[in-house]
Chain A
Amino acid sequence: MLVFIKSAIRFATIFLFGSTGETITEKSGHLNLGTPGIMCLGALGGCIGASLYMESLGINAEIINQTEQVAAAAANINGFAAILLCILFAMIFAGAGGLIYGFLTITLRCNQNVTGLAITTFGAGITNFFINYVDRSGFNYLAAKFTAPISGSDDWFSTIFLSHGALVYTAIVLALVVAFVFKKTRVGLNLTAIGENPATADAAGINVTGYKYTSCVLGGAIAGLGGLFYIMDYLYGSWEYAMEDLGWLAVALVIFSVWKPNWGILGSILFGAFYIMPSYVDVSFAAKELIKMVPYVATILILIFTSILNRRESQPPAALGLSYFREER
């Protein structure tokens, strides 16, 4: 059971990054369906950063079979610097994806749904293609740094709260910070106003375009960390073509958490739990697939309930999906 909770929290991190980023973007009135692709881009960027770092230590495909030599070099890995470099690269790549989306939908005012889907196709394609060109030798040594727990002891408290890698805590802190910014700061207030009613925000003297760009790029960059986490932490540096589906779950989580990243923490753990539950319960293979369906069904139910209750706080931002053009009054 403890291991199950631990794994759920770990898996949740992928969704949490994705949904926190997507929430930032959606708050500004932009429904970015490119998030799955952007998360892929984040994974690619992280891998490139990691590969550059490993190369600097002299670990590459040519020497990977000389185990002793590699192990010696790997001992020199500076966990902090490596993780930081990976984060930086992941954010730059994913942020670039967000920027393309932003440019098309904000400046060129293209249809958001269509642009987002195109970004997903494009981002997933780029990642799945170029990931093969990245020298991923010795990533398992690096992944160990990502997953290094705060405390290795196996009492219940440590297992649930202290056994995770750095990115898990980053995700939670980030979600809390973003929730705080939304709720308690001017920046959050302005951003929410733009998503609700851009004309009013514009009239109040807020730089609408600037905010929208920032939220698209930053939202993309944060979502990209989910991709990085998936590769370097969850998969221990290997690669699987399942990124896109996880991305869609992150989009679902935004709705599930009714645009509140702090709720998203709980939501993501719930999603994570359902996603990994099949490996922990003893039911038929078929029934396991039904368990995996729960997050989607739950999201649909939330969507239905919020629309029926019609409570104003739990509605999508009013201007979600609409381009803003000042001259159009």
Chain B
Amino acid sequence: MVAEKKKEKERLFHLVKRNDIEPWKKWIIRIASVIIAALLAGGIFAVVAKDSAAFGGFFKEMWKGSFGTQRLAYVFTSDWAILMCISLAVTPAFKMRFWNIGAEGQTLAGALGAAIILYYLGGKIVEPVVILFMFAAALFMGMLWAVIPAIFKAIWGTNETLFTLMMNYVAIQLTNFFVNLWTRGTQTTMGNLGNGTIHGILGIPYIQNAVIVAIVTIIIFIYLRYFKHGYELEVVGESQNTAKYIGINVKKVIIRTMLLSGVICGLAGFLLVGGSPTPTINAELVAGRGFTAILVSWLSKFGPLAMIFVTAFVVFLQTGAKQGSNTYHIGASSAYSDIIVGLFFLIIIASEFFLNYRIKFRKKEGK
């Protein structure tokens, strides 16, 4: 064997799947990745702003942009609520390993449902009834958008990732259709639809979304942890074989779970329309939050409680980066917030690797 040694191509290291990792190591890796991302974000900012002081100033601006004034803080809460709501919506499906990337469309479909009711019934009957109908229509539309792919997945195994992705654009075009119908093609955004808002509670503006979403958070938390349904969908996600072994009807669970996902997306859509002081609808209403929510849900490891903080962090990055780029006049502020958010996501996703695998360096064999 000695003679053949040189023939072997020894790899310098190989990967081993980790079974276990101490919690403190987990947190060190995660925090380190956030710090690296923050340093990079600040660095890019300083370079672009051509001002080395901007490196520190950037973070100050981010804070100011999110919580600087009372109004900003209210807007922050409202944004948090919407993103949180959609993240909660996709979570049960992901836990079931159903790759629903159609939250964008499901939410928009919900918003459209609410807008349709508001347009045709608003002002004709009393407001509470209108709101009730809006609510029902939003949930129904969101549900419809989620259940269609689920049924095909359950019965024929149609690829749900691609199906839900396409459903997004059907919803967008449908929204464009109605907006054009109502404005006779003069505008891409409806004007204020008025008369059908639940805006403000106890005189505090923007807060109603957060209140409703907080309730939903608790419900989802309980649903996933203490409901039989939550338990079943987890078993289906972990192993369909086991699910069949204990007699779970896998198809039923898939459809039921997506139904729930869709309903919550529909709720988010309702909040987007009815929760705004000036209810309106356009195809950009969801603004990519359906996709961001997927990342949020995944980074929170599908835990509703962790999601509260991850969502807050992401919204903070988005609004903060916008504010920062405005202050330093580097233009295209929403694009800059995309960069920052994308950067953080990529680095945190990459850090997952170190949580799941261990790199083992080949020790020199002392023969």
Assess A/B contact in the complex (Cβ within 8 A). yes
Question: B-contacting residues of A (Cβ < 8 Å)?
Answer: 31, 33, 37, 100, 104, 108-111, 113-115, 117-129, 131-133, 245, 248-249, 251-252, 255, 284-290, 292-293, 296-297, 299-300, 303-304, 307-308, 310, 316, 321, 325, 327-328
Q: Is the beta-carbon distance between A286 and B152 smaller than 8 angstroms?
A: no
Q: Which of B159, B341, B349, B357 contacts A114 (CB under 8 A)?
A: B349
Check if A118 sits within 8 Å of B349, measured CB to CB: yes
Main secondary structure of the interface of A (DSSP, over half): helix
Q: Type the 1/0 row for B304-340, where 1 means its CB is closer than 8 Å to any CB of A.
A: 0000000000000000000000000001101111111
Contact flags (1/0) for B43-86 with A, using CB distance below 8 Å? 00000100000000000000000000000000000000000000
- B332: chain A residues within 8 A (beta carbon): 128-129, 131-132
- Nearest Cβ distance between residue B17 and chain A, in whole angstroms? 7
Nearest-Cβ distance from residue B319 to partner chain A, whole angstroms: 15
Residues of chain A with a CB closer than 8 A to B346's CB: 100, 104, 115, 118-119, 122
Quick one: which of B15, B334, B336, B338 contacts A327, CB cutoff 8 A? B15
Nearest B residue (CB) for A287: B177
What residues on A are CB-neighbors of B340 within 8 Å?
125
Given the complex of chains A and B, what is the CA–CA distance between A108 and B346 in angstroms? 12
**Given the complex of chains A and B, what is the CA–CA distance between A120 and B346 in angstroms?**
11
In the complex, the chain B residue whose C-beta lies closest to that of A121 is B342
Docked complex Cα distance between A308 and B152 (Å): 9
Per the bound structure, the CA–CA distance linking A139 and B339 in Å amounts to: 26
Cα(A17)–Cα(B342), bound, Å? 24
Q: Min CB distance, B103 to chain A, in Å?
A: 11
For residue B345, which residue of chain A has the nearest CB? A118
Given A129-B336, A285-B184, A300-B167, residue A327 in contact with residue B161 (CB < 8 A): no
**CA A299 to CA B292, docked complex, whole Å:** 24
B162 near A124 with CB under 8 A, answer no
- Determine the distance from Cα of A308 to Cα of B154 in the docked complex, in whole angstroms: 12
Tell me whether B192 is interfacial, beta carbon within 8 Å: no
Q: Does B27 contact A (CB under 8 A)?
A: no
Q: Report the minimum CB–CB distance from B30 to chain A (whole Å).
A: 14
Tell me the complex Cα distance, A288–B184, Å: 12
Is B331 within 8 A of A132, CB to CB? Answer: yes
CB-CB under 8 A from A307, the residues of chain B are 152, 156-159
Chain A residues, Cβ within 8 Å of B225? none
Alpha-carbon separation in the docked complex, A285 to B186 (Å): 9
Question: Which B residues are CB-close (under 8 A) to A119?
Answer: 342, 346
Per-position contact with A for B341-356: 1 when CB-CB < 8 Å, else 0?
1110110011011001
Chain A residues with Cβ under 8 A from B168's Cβ?
A: 248
Q: Tell me whether A121 and B162 are in contact (CB under 8 A).
A: no
CB<8 Å pairs between A and B, sample of 5: A110-B349, A123-B342, A125-B336, A128-B332, A304-B156
Whether B288 sits at the interface, judged by CB under 8 Å, is yes
- Contacting residues, chain A, for B345 (C-beta < 8 A): 114, 118, 121-122
Highest count of chain B CB atoms <10 Å: which of A108, A115, A132, A321 = A108
B181 CB within 8 Å of chain A: yes
Name the A residues within 8 Å of B339 (CB-CB).
Answer: 122, 125-126, 129
Determine which residue in A110, A125, A133, A310 has the highest number of CB atoms from chain B within 10 A of its CB, and name it.
Answer: A125
Instruction: Give the chain A neighbours of B221 by CB distance below 8 A.
Output: none
B residues near A284, Cβ cutoff 8 Å: 180-181, 184-185
> Does B197 sit at the interface, judged by CB under 8 A?
no
Asked if residues B352 and A110 are in contact (CB atoms below 8 Å), the reply is yes
In the bound complex, do residue A114 and residue B338 qualify as a contact, i.e. CB atoms below 8 Å apart? no
Q: Does B276 contact A (CB under 8 A)?
A: no
- CB A282 to nearest CB in B, in angstroms, measures 13
Cβ-defined partner of A118 (8 Å) among B48, B178, B337, B342: B342
- Contact status B291-A286, CB under 8 Å: no
Is B173's CB under 8 angstroms from A304's CB?
A: no
The CA-CA distance from A166 to B167 in the complex, in Å, is 34
Give the docked Cα–Cα distance between A117 and B296 (Å). 11
Min CB gap A321→B, angstroms: 7
Residues in B with CB closer than 8 Å to A33 are: 101, 165
Cβ A288 vs Cβ B180 within 8 A:
yes
Q: Distance in Å from the Cβ of A19 to the closest Cβ of chain B?
A: 13
4 nearest interchain CB pairs? A285-B185, A122-B342, A125-B338, A128-B335
Known: A121-B291, A129-B332, A307-B158. A113 touches B99 (CB 8 A): yes
| B162 adjacent to A255 (CB under 8 Å) | yes
Shortest Cβ gap from B281 to chain A (Å): 13
Knowing A113-B161, A129-B339 are in contact, say whether A248-B169 is a contact too (CB < 8 A).
yes
Q: Cα distance A33–B164 when bound, in Å?
A: 13
Would A304 and B158 count as touching, CB distance under 8 A? yes
Within the complex, the shortest CB–CB distance from A126 to chain B, in Å, comes to 6
CB proximity of A326 to chain B, nearest CB, Å: 9
Shortest Cβ distance from residue B322 to the other chain A in the assembled complex, whole angstroms: 12
Contacts of B16 in A (CB 8 A): 327
> Which residue of chain B has its CB nearest to the CB of A120?
B291
How long is the Cα–Cα vector from A288 to B174 in the complex, in angstroms? Answer: 11
The answer to whether the Cβ of B136 comes within 8 Å of any Cβ in the partner chain is no
Chain A residues closer than 8 Å to B343, beta-carbon distance: 122
Among B158, B288, B335, B340, the most chain A Cβ lie within 10 Å of the Cβ of B335
Would B156 and A308 count as touching, CB distance under 8 A? yes
Q: Is the CB of A108 within 8 A of B353?
A: yes
Question: Is there an interface contact between A252 and B177, defined as CB atoms closer than 8 Å?
Answer: no
Chain B hits for A110, CB < 8 A: 349-350, 352-353
